[in-house]
Structure 1
Amino acid sequence: MKVAVIGCTHAGTAAVVNTAKLYPDAEITVYERNDNISFLSCGIALYVGGVVNDPDGLFYSSPDQLADLGVTTKMLHEVTAIDTDNKTLQARDLTTGIELTDTYDKLIMTTGSWPIVPKFEGIELDNILLCKNYNHSNTIIEKAQHANNIVVVGAGYIGVELVEAFQMNGKQVTLIDAEDRILNKYLDPEFTSRTEESLQEHGIELALSEKVVKFTGENGKVTTVVTDKATHQADMVILCIGFRPNTELLKGQVDMLVNGAILVDKYMQTSKKDVFAAGDSCAIFYNPTGKHAYIPLATNAVRMGTLVARNLVQPTNEYMGTQGTSGIKIYEDNIAGTGMTETAAREAGLNVETSTMHDHYRPEFMPTHETVTLKVVYEKETRRILGAQLMSKVDLTQSINTISVCIQNQMTVDQLAFIDFFFQPHYNKPWNYLNTVGLQALAPIQTQQEVHA
């Protein structure tokens, strides 16, 4: 069995390693256009901020490790065309320019995503950078040494983590976003407002509800970012506007969402037989809505890559879907979320209610007893949990994984109220805060007199 794998980061590495172990006789060839594989891009801000000093720890595999598994890795090889009907592909060696043609029995598409780069005026100026891979991170670190005013465009996870890292390194930092609040895809306003206050308290300028119009510069280097409302000085600009799936190679050959994300079934197979896909190149089944959605997260990628390998020869393990569970630490705040926010649910036309608790996470007689804010979003008619968000100075983020399981199993907020959680004063109260938020949502019981009235 000849297996061709295109792209080797999160999903690709998981698919390759597991395929090699499950099918030791398979002939596996990896095509990777970069000069490295398996880079943990989620750690870029930690690397830029100096929290991680040795970048080698951000790689969890290498061509040599794959070779030990019998895998052939063609680095700096860009696949230029795929013919899924005839099961062939063409690739170019980016070092020599030599082109080659290869065949396959099974194709695994793990080409990931690429940053969205709008065609702003002045986009070609030097020191306007992207933040996606290892080479990007090294360029950011190098150029940041000579920059004082740094502008980050895009207030998602990566953008927010980067401005924190730069501020901690003594830079003057501005965060620009067209939306009126940061992290708007992940958190509701009561959480983002507190995070915005924290950023501003540390001297970070927030330029929200501002759309970038153009960049201006001198001597070929960027000097200002011009928005529809203001002008911001900049020695360096990092674009973190978002990502789009990198799937042009299969356009017109497999079913996709409008944005180009590949649709796969529960066994990670595309609409074309023997063509599998995983990771940021794919749309995934989103349990809160029961529909496919584009949610590029490393956790989704490694799960999907592992499932590709297990389903490569025959359907074996179904994908359970995702809640888009994620977390972030900004200064002293530990934040996590899963499923739909209230904002997203209402925008989707769902009839939802919420329950929010703000209380000490453990007994007040303990030496410290930080507060936790936990919000649960649930469907009004069915009481089914759709999402949750949590924030605390103490790290309680693992609790959001529990609610992720609740969403996956279509549990109700009433069931959450009475789930069996342990009690120990070091960790919680007799009523765990997960129970408490469910208890608050319980409807009052009618008395016997009310029933017979």
Structure 2
Amino acid sequence: MKVSIIGCTHAGTFSAMNILKAHPDWEVSVFERNDNLSFLSCGIALWVSDRVSDPNKMFYSSPDDLAKLGAKMHMLHDVTSIDFDNKKLHVKNLENNEDFEQDYDKLVLTTGSSPIVPNIPGINSSRVQLCKNWTNATELKENAKNINSAIVIGAGYIGAELAEGYATLGKKTTLIDALPDVLAKNFDKNMSKVAEKDYIDNGVTLGLGEKVQAFEEVEDGVIVKTDKNEYKADVAVMSVGFRPNTDMYKDEFETLPNGALIVDKYMHTSKPDVFSAGDAASVFYNPTNDNQYIPLATNAVRQGILVGANIEKDTAEYIGTQSSSAVELFGRTYAASGLTAGHAKALGKKVETVSLEDNYRPEFMLSTTPVLMNLVWDPETRVIVGGALTSMYDVSQSANLLSLAIQKKVTIDELSMVDFFFQPNFDKPVNYVSALAIAAVEKAN
């Protein structure tokens, strides 16, 4: 059996590893246009702000590792077109510009995503940078040594973390977003306001609810012009989101409106013998029971594993995702899983919500810390569909608990009575997640 994998970041790497583990005698060819693979881009802001021990450890695999498993690695090779009817790839070797054809029996499309780069005047300036891959990371890290100021455009996870990183380095930092709140797509307003206060307290200028209209490169920096203000810094960094890297072949498949390939629970696309995973593909989003585009490394890894499990025959089903995530900003944890109230409203989904602030452990301890929490549920079934927490205490693993609750369609009533342990070092007689669920039950009744 001949398998070709196009693209090798998270989904491609895990597809290759798991196919070869299950079928060591198969011919597995990997095509990657870059000279590296498996880079954990979620660590870029941490590296830029001197919180990474060794940048080489941000790669969890290598071309040599996959080659040792038996893969035929074609690094710096670009697949220029695909003949799906005859099962042939047209490939260009980027080192010598030679072209060749490769036939396959099974094809895995893991071409990932590209940063969204709006068509804004001046955006091609060398002082306007991106934050996505290893090349971007090395440029940002090198620049951080020399700059005194930075403007970050996009207040999602990547932009929010990068802006926090610059601020901790003592750089004059501005964070701009067209939406009215920081992390607006990840958290509801009450938690966004906590983050915004921390930014302001740490000297960050916020340009929220402002659309960038132009960049103007000047001798000593770049001016970012929005519909409301102008900001100047040594560099600007675009981090306004990602789009699936499927332009070459998306017209051949059933896709989401943005071009992400729709895959079934076994990672099959709409074409026979063609699989997809990761940022090029859709995911099944459990809180809304439909396919959505949620480009996260965790989704890519799990889908890549499933490609390996199902490449010969359908054996392992995808159980979907809650889009669980977390970030730490200025020492404060933000963690979430599933829908926010704002996202539910945008989707036209009727939900009920409750917010609660409670100390994570008893007040008789020498210290304790408040935890601000939100819970979102379906008012008809009482099933939990989302939740979020923020605290100076590390509450990140509670988002994983909420993720499992959403996955298993746990009700607010059930969560309020889960057998959580009590020990004063760690929590109260009523665990803070239980307290949140109890507040939801009281509101629902």
Calculate the TM-score normalised by the size of structure 1.
Answer: 0.96
- CA distance in 1 between partners of 2:47 and 2:365 (Å): 36
Quick one: which amino acid aligns to residue 261 of structure 2? I
Quick one: which amino acid aligns to residue 78 of structure 2? E
- CA distance in 2 between partners of 1:421 and 1:347 (Å): 34
**Corresponding residue of 1:253:** 252
Contact 2:45 2:158 in 1 (8 A): yes
Contact 1:127 1:143 in 2 (8 A): no
1:110 aligns with 2:104: no
- CA distance in 1 between partners of 2:177 and 2:150 (Å): 14
Counting only pairs closer than 5 Å after superposition, residues 305-316 of structure 1 correspond to structure 2 as 305-316=304-315
How big is each residue's C-alpha offset from its partner over 1:76-135, in whole Å with a ceiling of 9 and x where there is no partner? 111110111211111111111111110111111111100000111111211211110011
Counting only pairs closer than 5 Å after superposition, residues 11-410 of structure 1 correspond to structure 2 as 11-218=11-218, 222-410=221-409
1:66 deviates by: 0.9
How big is each residue's C-alpha offset from its partner over 1:373-415, in whole Å with a ceiling of 9 and x where there is no partner? 1110011111111100001111121011111111111111111
Task: Give the secondary-structure state (helix, strand or coil) at the position aligned to 1:431.
Answer: coil
- CA distance in 1 between partners of 2:221 and 2:178 (Å): 20
Task: Give the secondary-structure state (helix, strand or coil) at the position aligned to 1:398.
Answer: helix
Quick one: which amino acid aligns to residue 398 of structure 2? S
Task: Give the secondary-structure state (helix, strand or coil) at the position aligned to 2:404.
Answer: helix
1:149 deviates by: 2.1
Quick one: which amino acid aligns to residue 127 of structure 1? R
**Is there any run of 5+ residues in structure 1 with no aligned partner, and where?**
447-453
1:293 deviates by: 0.5
Q: Following TM superposition, where does structure 1 have runs of at least 4 consecutive aligned residues deviating by more than 3 angstroms?
A: 443-446
Contact 2:379 2:444 in 1 (8 A): no
- CA distance in 2 between partners of 1:249 and 1:256 (Å): 13
Quick one: which amino acid aligns to residue 124 of structure 2? E
How big is each residue's C-alpha offset from its partner over 1:147-204, in whole Å with a ceiling of 9 and x where there is no partner? 2221111000000110111111121111111111111110000000000100110001
- CA distance in 1 between partners of 2:338 and 2:277 (Å): 20
1:444 deviates by: 8.3
Quick one: which amino acid aligns to residue 141 of structure 2? I
Deviates more, 1:102-111 or 1:139-148: 139-148
Contact 2:375 2:440 in 1 (8 A): no
1:222 deviates by: 4.9
Task: Give the secondary-structure state (helix, strand or coil) at the position aligned to 2:380.
Answer: coil
Quick one: which amino acid aligns to residue 358 of structure 1? E
**Is there any run of 5+ residues in structure 2 with no aligned partner, and where?**
none
Quick one: which amino acid aligns to residue 35 of structure 2? D
**Corresponding residue of 1:451:** none
Quick one: which amino acid aligns to residue 411 of structure 2? T
Task: Give the secondary-structure state (helix, strand or coil) at the position aligned to 1:252.
Answer: helix
Quick one: which amino acid aligns to residue 103 of structure 1? D
Contact 1:111 1:247 in 2 (8 A): yes
- CA distance in 1 between partners of 2:381 and 2:83 (Å): 47
- CA distance in 1 between partners of 2:430 and 2:124 (Å): 57
Aligned residues: 445
- CA distance in 2 between partners of 1:444 and 1:436 (Å): 12
Q: 1:444 to 1:192 in 2, by over 3 A?
A: closer
Quick one: which amino acid aligns to residue 298 of structure 1? A
- CA distance in 2 between partners of 1:299 and 1:124 (Å): 31
1:355 deviates by: 2.1
- CA distance in 1 between partners of 2:288 and 2:338 (Å): 9
Calculate the TM-score normalised by the size of structure 2.
Answer: 0.98
How big is each residue's C-alpha offset from its partner over 1:310-357, in whole Å with a ceiling of 9 and x where there is no partner? 000000010000000000000121110000001111222222211222
Task: Give the secondary-structure state (helix, strand or coil) at the position aligned to 2:396.
Answer: coil
Q: 1:445 to 1:192 in 2, by over 3 A?
A: closer
- CA distance in 1 between partners of 2:133 and 2:47 (Å): 12
Contact 1:215 1:222 in 2 (8 A): no
**Corresponding residue of 1:429:** 428
Contact 2:354 2:443 in 1 (8 A): no
- CA distance in 1 between partners of 2:444 and 2:392 (Å): 36
- CA distance in 2 between partners of 1:444 and 1:31 (Å): 54
1:229 deviates by: 0.8
1:24 deviates by: 0.5
- CA distance in 2 between partners of 1:383 and 1:215 (Å): 48
1:445 deviates by: 11
1:144 deviates by: 2.7
Contact 1:144 1:236 in 2 (8 A): no
Task: Give the secondary-structure state (helix, strand or coil) at the position aligned to 1:442.
Answer: helix
Contact 2:250 2:260 in 1 (8 A): no
- CA distance in 1 between partners of 2:268 and 2:73 (Å): 23
Task: Give the secondary-structure state (helix, strand or coil) at the position aligned to 1:373.
Answer: strand
Contact 2:127 2:217 in 1 (8 A): no
Quick one: which amino acid aligns to residue 262 of structure 1? L
- CA distance in 1 between partners of 2:159 and 2:57 (Å): 22
**Corresponding residue of 1:438:** 437
How big is each residue's C-alpha offset from its partner over 1:1-30, in whole Å with a ceiling of 9 and x where there is no partner? 111111111111111111111101110111
- CA distance in 2 between partners of 1:321 and 1:41 (Å): 23
- CA distance in 2 between partners of 1:169 and 1:435 (Å): 38
- CA distance in 1 between partners of 2:371 and 2:142 (Å): 39
- CA distance in 1 between partners of 2:225 and 2:196 (Å): 22
1:443 deviates by: 4.5
Quick one: which amino acid aligns to residue 231 of structure 1? E
